[in-house]
Amino acid sequence: MDLRIPHSEPSPDERAAVDALLGAPASGWDGGDRDVALDGRVARRGLRAIEARRDLLLPAIEAVQARVGWVSKAALDYIARRLTVPPAEVWGVASFYHLIDLEPAPPVVAHVCDDIACRNAGAEDVCAALGAEGAVADGATWKRSPCLGLCELAPAALLVRAGATPTTEVVAPATAAAIATARAAVDGPADASAGARRGDARLDEVRRSVPQAGDASLQLLARVGVVDPGSLDDYRRHGGYRGLTRAIELGGAGVIAELTAGRLVGRGGAAFPTGRKWQAVAGQTERTRYVVCNADESEPGTFKDRILMEWDPFAVIEGMTIAGLTAGAEHGYVYVRGEYPVAAARLQAAIDAARAAGLLGADVAGTGARFDVEIRRGAGAYICGEETSLFNSLEGFRGEPRSKPPYPVAVGLFGKPTVVNNVETLANVPVLLTAGGAAFAAQGSGTSTGPKLYCVSGHVARPGLYEAPFGVTVRDLLALAGGTSRGRPVRAVLLGGAAGSFVGADALDVPLTLEGLRAIGATLGSGVVMVFDDGADLPGVLRRIAQFFRDESCGQCVPCRVGTVRQDEALHRLAARPPAAAVADDRALLAELGQAMRDASICGLGQTASAAIESALALGLGDPVADAPTTGGAR
């Protein structure tokens, strides 16, 4: 390609960050020192080889962000030159992600979650105490963040420190003082895996997030808190890699038969049968195939995948390996959301250990089959959890969804057949194969089989990740979580996150199964169970959800790009307590907006952007008058 790329000089740090990822530039053509005599004799690789490196675009931008704390235009131009990507497209990609700063920023940033779960726990008070958002003091600043996936520890903040060795630190519960202490520390935490300490201390730490940890009856969470997440031997001692052994015995067709018999469906929210997905990829005539683990968990209220990756990373890798062997893929990617640094670090360690033990690589477990896994990090975009947006993001393009059909099983990552599964789905695979499909299907009810993870948060005494079979009720989960936290009655429960729906207190005994919830027009989605008592500021919660979709719409299609804005505006008008006629008009407007977004948006984001709000208004929740917070319960 003949590109015009401005000659601007990146700073030494920016150059070092990019070169650490891409290697030193080979000539003056791709950003090295210009040498008139030599550069004239350089033969550059062909277009195909250049295109094959496009997927390093986002990692290169992230590398500069992590090193410097922001990304200058000179750095973007240097990346454009190194990868032969048009500067306008580099800018388009960099400006898509909210964790990439394109204006000068200090090296230390506290991302303070103000999303619904943290809001419930007083995030607005934390933000108020921190002063003006974006104000820089002592080389640090803070900004509001959508859900950080730390809902069980709410209110939470993530401190990110740029540098040659970038560090991050979770501050939870977040207070202005705790954040100030964390950002004043010179070096940050000594060890990103400090939480992986041994024995009882580890179990105690995990129990803050997984109150059931250590319970022998658990399946998906059996090893969480029990094993050292960095130890392959520990993993194997506790049943690890039995699923892979079984998969190798069964062969590809046998694995698919077991998955089908077990009726495993995807745990990311769409509940597609996993066996059917794998079979569709295995049956493609195209030989190059991919496995993608969707670890871009960004649904507000969801933190299950983070905990699985942090505390049982080998299970995810084992599930991916089985998928690779079954679908005939040689390469897998884990796309981990940018807000999950610890999960990414522990997964990377697990991949390295598995590769060293011959469980990944050119000859997986002596089968002769090749399969390896690479981690890619998101950079702050909810939309990238949508599978085709994820592909675009991973390929180095803007994370905008693609039109379906064609579906990923036929045309997925890099245009090739792709198995894309959620973390929890993949973690279920070894469990299913070890137990056998029939035993797996015996759990739960109807089409909802096997164990399920529930992300319980909000006004409960012990928020956390709970494992229970499909078919438990919200009341059961409330009991597990120690009841409500303030002794007040439950007013509403948000199921499935911001893209899910609210149910009232009358639905506490509805079985949490796919079909049970469908019957009452709700969805389990990613397993979010967020409880609001009668002191909750529901109108504020609804406005935060509307704000979330307004912020996170990718902007590609009109119904979602403008519809989410109009929805947000209508909710603000309602909050101003207008006369009855105006309320009726805005309610009708919201209903029409919801219908058009559901019908005409390209992807699931726009199609579900009105679901929670419409469900709440239909239940009479979030009424600006009736549901305004009562005195003393302003949270």
Partner 1 sequence: MSADHDDGADRVWFEPPPRSVRLPMAPPTPAPATITLEIDGREVQVADGSSLLDACASIGVETPTLCFLKTLTPVNACRVCVVELEGSRTLVPSCARKAEAGMKVHTDSPRVRLSRKLVLELLGSSVDLSQAPDVARWMARYDAHPERFGADAATVAQPVKDDNDLYVRDYARCILCYKCVEACGTDAQNTFAIAVAGRGFDARVATEADVPLPASACVYCGNCIGVCPTNALVFKSEHVMRGKGTWAPERQTTTDTICSYCGVGCTLTLHAQDGRIVKVTSPLDASVTEGNLCIKGRFGFDFVDDEPAGDG
Q: Which is nearer to partner 1, 360 or 381 (CB)?
A: 381
Q: Which is nearer to partner 1, 96 or 290 (CB)?
A: 96
Q: Which is nearer to partner 1, 306 or 543 (CB)?
A: 543
Q: Which is nearer to partner 1, 197 or 572 (CB)?
A: 572
Q: Which is nearer to partner 1, 51 or 372 (CB)?
A: 51
Q: Do 276 and 363 touch, CB atoms closer than 8 A?
A: no
Tokens of 454: 């529930």
Q: Which is nearer to partner 1, 385 or 559 (CB)?
A: 559
Query: Is 28 exposed, middle or buried (CB count within 10 Å of its CB: 0-12, 13-18, 19+)?
Result: middle
Q: C-beta of 193: minimal distance to partner 1 in Å?
A: 33
Q: C-beta of 617: minimal distance to partner 1 in Å?
A: 18
Number of residues in the chain: 635
Q: C-beta of 118: minimal distance to partner 1 in Å?
A: 22
Binding-site ranges for partner 1 (CB under 8 A): 1, 3-4, 6, 73, 76-77, 80, 86-92, 95-96, 98, 102, 381, 398, 403, 550-559, 561-566, 569, 573, 585, 589, 592-593, 595-596, 598-602, 607
Q: C-beta of 509: minimal distance to partner 1 in Å?
A: 29
Q: C-beta of 197: minimal distance to partner 1 in Å?
A: 39
Q: How many Cα atoms are found within 13 Å in the side-chain-facing hemisphere of 276?
A: 8
Report d(CA 609, CA 343) in Å as an integer: 28
> Within 10 Å of residue 122's Cβ, how many Cβ atoms?
17
Q: How many Cα atoms are found within 13 Å in the side-chain-facing hemisphere of 631?
A: 0
Q: Which is nearer to partner 1, 86 or 489 (CB)?
A: 86
Q: How far is CA 10 from CA 2, 77, 95, 97, 164, in A?
A: 21, 8, 18, 21, 16
Q: Which is nearer to partner 1, 166 or 401 (CB)?
A: 401
Task: Name the β-bridge partners of 333.
Answer: 292, 374
Q: Do 167 and 204 touch, CB atoms closer than 8 A?
A: no
CA–chain centroid gap for 78, Å, is 29
Task: Name the β-bridge partners of 530.
Answer: 457, 494
Q: How far apart are the first and last CA of the chain?
A: 56
Q: C-beta of 584: minimal distance to partner 1 in Å?
A: 13
Report d(CA 289, CA 324) in Å as an integer: 9
Q: C-beta of 596: minimal distance to partner 1 in Å?
A: 4
Task: Name the β-bridge partners of 465.
Answer: 455
Q: C-beta of 548: minimal distance to partner 1 in Å?
A: 11
